[in-house]
Structure 1
């Protein structure tokens, strides 16, 4: 199967929900049949550990901490400070080397849509920039990024473009001008797809919940989106995990929306937050992931969100480690490995 075929295959089948795995806060058993196959084995597990080559090195350490569980999703971000960095810094080389060591790995790259992405630009300025982008003012930067990725032999990179666009913070936010935001997304995708040899997958990943604007109002169209992602942390809106699932524009609506549009799902960012060390949340989120079978998920592993690099969440860390380590053990047993 081609690189692109690996992540796009089964777009509809993998998003079918069988029912919530919520039983009084206890961890429900992940789906598992008697055929020797493990229901979670096709989900690429990842973690954001650091943006540059240090992140690559730490993936090996995290894998050891998990008892040998393979991390198949390598996740990093492009700095959003300058256009030069959005075009692709030298640190991409280390990630490309990691990606190409094994055929079944995914390289997941968060790409800002605008320079000065965390500069606190006011709405009027954001609207002006979105209009310029929609008219093609920044196309060349994204063509250069695409050329860089193809030259590094990672043409199948998953591009998490303009993430959390429904929020208040980033310059690439949608709310100041949703129509031009969508037009701009479409121009970026067209610019990157114009590069010979590309096989990119574009991941549309809002925050969970309505935030500053309903994320459905920012959706740019099925022809320019391949994956419906969601960044979801243990914080309001939603005081319980069940509320995080059922709230408007929450986890269930993401699954339903993706199914209706024939797309796979992902969780590029998730983890602990305002509710502190919360093992019940960790159990239920991992169970939800196991049931929904996203293309990939990537925990944000630094404080306060993480479980390995963050010592303030020991109970959640134990749940994460036990769940993923035992998951890998099941996969090994089903494959006939007993060492």
Structure 2
């Protein structure tokens, strides 16, 4: 057997046995995931089947009602651990609250620890909450979820969670470092990955002011929804023509989603400057009660597909937010019958476009 032939066999076996992973910079397609309600394994699998894919990644959220949830989210981890490990190619992306309780910082109202005690990023920066994240890391190891991608304090540049960081960016950054160092130090948890994850736009403040340092971040994430309060966009007049609606869809993409002060162009450049892959852990269409969503918008789907799959943007993974909430509707897939939720889509044209572009049959 020649040396060249031996090397060829070795390369083939390496590719054959390697686990499915996020796309590396320069790859043609990022990993695809979805959210379909807490512990929504059936919904994730239905989404994969709808697209004809053998599997997709799963997105879920730990509840922030108590510190017990943060450290011991057994209800989440037991289910996802079994799901991830039963089939190659599966991975969990897990959003993690870093302060328990409501957005006003008054602290948790339930659970066995810290009930009624106000919470703050400053306490976190001091290390007061490290024990909860040590427990979380141990539990991720226990349930064989050590390849999980964590999103601590997702959308911290908005004002809707207890960890909103406006005016407290130094405390936020130090608290982030405390969490990452604590979790990485747990035996077996060395391969956990951390996604630093604002939402699109400046929101309450420029999120890059809260960067914790390159050594403490594995992915730069940004959440993207087809909604905006920009002038002459959404909502459009009741008598708007199809051409006028399409013009507004294009305006939103060009002026808000892509090229606003902290739109996708900014975050792509930011990630590249910090030598990090980009991620879009949440994205979706929106029919919202506030009226500022783009509704059935195949153009948004097309543009997201182009952006996500452009190797120049170095997108490692992306997750479609495939649910209908009571006041925000995003779902594209048919979903799972009998869940008691409002399944199905309000966006038939967009659903068809998404399936055309993201199904395995769309690939060469």
Q: TM-score, normalised by structure 1?
A: 0.81
Q: 2:303 aligns with which of 256, 262, 284?
A: 284
Deviations 1:33-63 (A, max 9, x none): xxxxxx22xx2111100112xx101122122
Partner residue, 1:72: 56
Conserved in 1, the CA contact under 8 Å of 2:67 and 2:132? yes
- What's 1:294 paired with? 315
Using the alignment, how far apart are the partners of 1:196 and 1:113 within structure 2?
21
Contact 2:200 2:224 in 1 (8 A): yes
Q: Distance in 1 between matches of 2:23 and 2:53?
A: 24
Residue among 261, 264, 285 paired with 1:251: 264
Distance 1:258 1:190 in 2: 21
Unmatched segments (≥5 aa) in structure 1: 15-38, 335-339
> CA offsets, 1:240-290, max 9 Å, x none?
212211111110111111111110111111001211111111111122111
Task: Write the distance in 2 (CA, Å) between the matches of 1:127 and 1:216.
Answer: 27
8 Å CA contact retained: 1:119, 1:171: yes
Question: How many pairs are equivalent?
Answer: 296
For the Cα contact (< 8 Å) 2:166–2:205, is it kept in 1?
yes
User: Relative contact order (C-alpha < 8 Å, sep 6+): which is higher?
Assistant: 1
CA contact (8 A) 2:195 2:218 kept: yes
SS in 2 for 1:183: helix
Question: What SS does the aligned partner of 1:295 have?
Answer: strand
In structure 2, the gaps of 5 or more residues are 1-13, 107-115, 234-251, 287-292, 334-342
Q: Distance in 2 between matches of 1:110 and 1:102?
A: 22
SS at match of 2:75: coil
The answer to whether the aligner puts 1:50 opposite 2:30 as a matched pair is no
Task: Specify which of 144, 150, 154 is matched with residue 163 of structure 1.
Answer: 154
The answer to whether the Cα contact below 8 Å between 1:130 and 1:181 also exists between their aligned partners in 2 is yes
Is residue 229–residue 266 contact of structure 1 (8 Å, CA) maintained in 2?
A: yes
CA distance change for structure 1 residues 49 and 128 in 2, over 3 Å: closer, same or farther?
closer
Report what 1:202 is aligned to.
194
Distance 2:301 2:118 in 1: 38
In the TM superposition, what is the alpha-carbon distance from 1:153 to its structure 2 partner? 1.1
Task: Please tell me whether the aligned partners of residues 55 and 89 of structure 2 are also in contact (alpha carbons under 8 angstroms).
Answer: no
TM-score, length basis structure 2: 0.76
Q: Which has the larger radius of gyration?
A: 2
Q: Which residue of 2 aligns with 1:189?
A: 180
